[in-house]
Structures are given as structure tokens and as C-alpha cells.
Amino acid sequence: MTGKDLPFHHRKHDEEVLPHATKKTMADHLRKYESLFTLTPQRMRMIVDAFEETLDKGLQKFGEVVPMIPTYVFGWPKGSETGSYLALDLGGTNLRVCLVMLQGDGKFEITQTKYRLSEEQKQEEGELLFDFCAKCLKTFVDSYLADFDLQGAAIPLGFTFSYPCEQERIDHGKLIRWTKGFGNLNVEGHDVAAMFRHSLEKFEVPIQLTSLINDTTGTLIASHYVNPRTRIGVIFGTGCNAAYMEKIGNIPKIKNLGLPDDGEMAINCEWGAFDSFTHEHLPRTKYDIDIDQSSNKPDEQAFEKLISGRYLGEIFRLVVCEMIDDGSIFLGQNTYKLEKPYVLETAFLSLMEADPTDELLTVVGIFTHFYGLETTLAERQFFRALARLIGTRAARLSACGIAAIVSKMGYLNEGCDVAADGSLYSKYPGFPERVHQGLVDIFGPKGQNIRTVHAEDGSGVGSAIIAAMTNERREAGIFPNC
């Protein structure tokens, strides 16, 4: 909806009840936020150019802001990988344990258990977090694998650890920095695979950690297993990031390993860090800056903070709080419930945008039920339009990231599939369509050659496939030190 579509808001009735409300109409407010949150195609193209340069830089040397992490996942799966593998997935919100049975021919079966992580668990001593992972795994193994005849062998496990880790080989990963609000102590700078192995030993879990991967790498590989047109894997969820397959010869920073130049390796971009610290390229509003500065990692994950599900609800809340402060809305009502950081979840933005009723009854429900606030129809229309602005900006910035990889790899003419997953991509109304529109705005009609496709379960199935690929590679004695 644009400002023009908004019905003019006569505040007659409200003015009687709320004599201090400003005269400014909701449509006027909306126009202001439209100009703050709208990204023109020209601006998007500028972002894409800077993004592409940053991706190249990250491949040159270690320690760059966007670290372009070599994953030691060599090339695409064959689709014929088989066997049973465990996968442990530590994402942004849940811990998941999966048993994946790869049946070859692009087919699989999966059994899984999910645990929600509490806010305390995300901040406690790192060792406790890995102990928790090991205990959940043990419970799972005891209940689902008790009847398996393991013949003394440890079960292979793929660990999906979706935070930036610098890897020296596939079963190693030094955490560069926590993202997504995690802050567990004594993990940054340490090898998380070693920490997890230590916990597995402590609780005597009969598991062999085969590979440590990122959710984007898992998404890339799992989707390619079933759809070989896949070239890029992206996650738009609590965090955001992408992975793609690169020629080893184009990764100068690992030249010393003596790997064949014409071989291929997946790169975990960690693009959420784009424009961190310098803040030169992205159009940040004062709400974005506020979120950044009051986060546990100021100046970091600059791109992610404008896009991911962890932050969109909070951006919305900050705009609404500003309007409360300047007396534009909720005059005379008690707004304290809405004044607490992060109380407004991105899922509410999805619900507001999807509200099918003329009266916007879902929006009524959200504001009365969760925050004890009465709204007028004009306010509700404004809230929905504001959600749309914030959600659309996130989708268009996401398109910029995808476009940077497409352009860098020369995929535009031939076209390719981009495997996408995460709550924003799969649950936010219209998000995929807005990404596609963004790609067309950047590339013109050829942008339609780039399709995003809802991905297979990368963190579970992808992790299992990569564990299988790694086992096969090791058994064949290929790159044994990787």
C-alpha cells in the first residue's frame, strides 16, 4: 500500500477523546517513513557493486570483514550418497537433533527432536551450551538408536553450527564472533568442534563428529542433492547469510594448501557482516542505528541487522515508540508494555501484513492482546503499511546480496536456482516475490532468470549429506588433511 491508497484519516472522534493528538494525519506519517525505508533500483545497484567488491576481497586474504570462509566441502553431491547420519543443528532459536537416512537418488527420510533455547542459555558459559547439546544428543540416541546394531562403531555426526567460524579443515571451526544475540562466554576464538567433542566425551555419547558446517552450506548441498540447478544457498531467518560453490583457483588465501585450482569448494560468505564497522554503503535509519548501538555487538552484522527476523519487529517497535513519544498515537493510553525492547516479534509483522479483514482485526488483536492498546482503523492501516515498508526493504536488500553473487559468478544469462530457507523467507507474506522484484529492478528482465526456491532442510539433511561426502572422500584418501 502506498500513502496515496490510505484513506484520509478524519480524527474527529479521536480528537474528542484524545484532545492532545497532533493534527498530523497518519498518511503524512506514512509518507515520511516511505522515504526513509524505500530503496530505489539505482541505490540497489550501487549496493550490489560494493557488495561484489567486498566478496572478492574476502577471498583474497583472511581477516576481512566479510570473511568468505572456505568450508572444505568439495564440489556438489552426486545424489547417490546413502547411509544413516546424525545431524545436530544449533541455529538461532532452536537446537535440533536429526537422524537422516539418505536413500540415494536424491531421496531421504528424517526423524527429529527440537528444543527451544532459552535466553539464559544463549549467554551462559560456552561449555554449558555444548554440554546441553551433548545431553540432548544422548537422549535422542538412547531413544531412537537403542535398537541399531552399531557393531562398536561410533555414529557419524554432522554438526550444523550457524555462526561465523574460520575453518582449517572440515571438522574444525574457530568461532570468529557470535551473532544473532548469542553471547556465550569463552567460545569466541575457540575451536567449537573441539569444545563439542569434549562435551561428547564427558557424557559418553558414542558419536564421531565428522563435519562442522554452516546452515547455508547445508542448504546449498541439500538442495543440489534434489535439484542440480541450485547454485546458491541462502538463509533469511533469525540471521541471514549465503553460500555458493567457488573454483579453488579463485580463493587465493588458501593457495598454500596446494589444492587443485580447477577443483571446487563451497564458500560460506557470512554476508551478514557486509558494511560492518565502516557503514559506508547501507541506508541505515536512526532506528537501525539505535538497534545496532544497543545490541550486544555494536557495529557488527550491519547487513543482517537491516534484514533478519531477529530485528525487523524491533525496527517497527522503535518507529511506533517514536510516534508515541511525539504524541501522534496512543495518547492517554498506557504504553509501557510496548516500550520494552524486542517485545514486538517479526512474526507480528507477518500477521499484520497477512490480515485478510477490512477492519484489520488481526492488528486489533495484536495490539489489544499483547500490549493492551486500542487502535483506530487509520492507525491499523498505518501499522500494516509500516510493516510492509520494513519487510520490503529487507527483501530488496536480500536481493542485493543474491545479485552480488550472481553477478560475480556470471550466472545471470544462463540463470540459476537459489535455494532459500529461514522463517522470513518461508513465512513472511510476499517475501520471495519481493526478492524477485528486487532482482528485476537490479538486472532488468533478465533478473527473472534467477529463481529462489524453498530449500530442502539444509541444517539437517544437508549436514548428513556433507558428512557422507566427507566420509567417502576420506575413505578414498582425497585431501586427507582437509
- What residues line the site for ligand BGC (CB under 6 A)? 91-92, 162-164, 179-180, 214-216, 235, 237, 239-241, 270, 272, 304
Helix or strand holding residue 16 (H, E): helix 12-17
Q: How far is the CB of 122 from ligand BGC (least distance, A)?
A: 13
Among 96, 171, 177, 199, the one annotated catalytic: 177
Q: Is the CB of 180 or the CB of 473 nearer to ligand BGC? A: 180
Nearer to ligand BGC, 237 or 438 (CB): 237
Give the shortest CB-268-to-ligand BGC separation in angstroms: 7
> Minimum Å distance from CB 11 to ligand BGC?
42
Contact criterion met (CB below 8 Å) for 236 and 400: no
Rounded to a whole number of angstroms, the minimum distance from the CB of residue 329 to ligand BGC is 33
Which one from 89, 131, 171, 215 is the annotated catalytic residue?
A: 215
- CA–CA distances in Å: residue 187 to residues 115, 176, 215: 21, 9, 19
Nearest residue (CB) to ligand BGC, 213 versus 387: 213
Please state the separation of Cα 171 from the chain's center in Å: 23
162 carries an active-site annotation = yes
Please, are residues 387 and 353 in contact by the beta-carbon 8 Å criterion?
yes
* 325 given a catalytic annotation: no
CB of 440 to ligand BGC, least distance (A): 25
Spatial contact of 100 and 77, defined as CB atoms under 8 Å apart? no
Cβ-Cβ contacts under 8 Å for 429 (sequence gap 6 or more): 350, 353, 354
Side-chain-facing half-sphere of 304: CA atoms under 13 Å: 32
Least Å distance, CB 205 to ligand BGC, is 24
**What nine digits make up the cell of 36?**
526513509
Q: Which residues contact 373 (CB under 8 A, 6 or more apart)?
A: 330, 333, 335, 337, 338, 367
Q: Is 238 helix (H, G, I), strand (E, B) or coil?
A: coil
> Please, which residue, 214 or 362, has the CB nearer to ligand BGC?
214
Q: Is 215 a catalytic residue?
A: yes
Instruction: Specify the residue, 216 or 407, whose C-beta has the smaller distance to ligand BGC.
Output: 216
Q: How far is the CB of 25 from ligand BGC (least distance, A)?
A: 39
Out of 131, 162, 211, 231, the active site residue is 162
User: What is residue 116's three-state secondary structure?
Assistant: strand
Residue nearest to ligand BGC (CB): 239
Exposure on the CB side of residue 258, measured as CA atoms within 13 A = 4
Residue 185 DSSP one-character state: B
Closest CB to ligand BGC among residues 55, 141? 55
**CA 421 to CA 424: how far, in whole Å?**
8
Give dist(CA 85, CA 88) in Å, integer. 10
Sheet of strand 94-104, all strands in order from the earlier edge strand to the far edge: 107-116, 94-104, 82-90, 155-161, 207-213
If the CB atoms of residues 233 and 447 are measured against ligand BGC, the closer one turns out to be 233
Q: CB of residue 403 vs ligand BGC: minimum separation in angstroms?
A: 19
Contacts by residues 340-345 (CB-CB < 8 Å, ≥ 24 positions apart): 341/294, 341/314, 341/317, 342/313, 342/314, 342/317, 343/317, 343/370, 343/371, 344/313, 344/314, 344/316, 344/317, 344/320, 344/370, 345/313
Closer Cβ to ligand BGC, 438 or 462, answer by number: 462
- CB of 271 within 8 A of CB of 234? no
**What residues are labeled active site?**
162, 177, 215
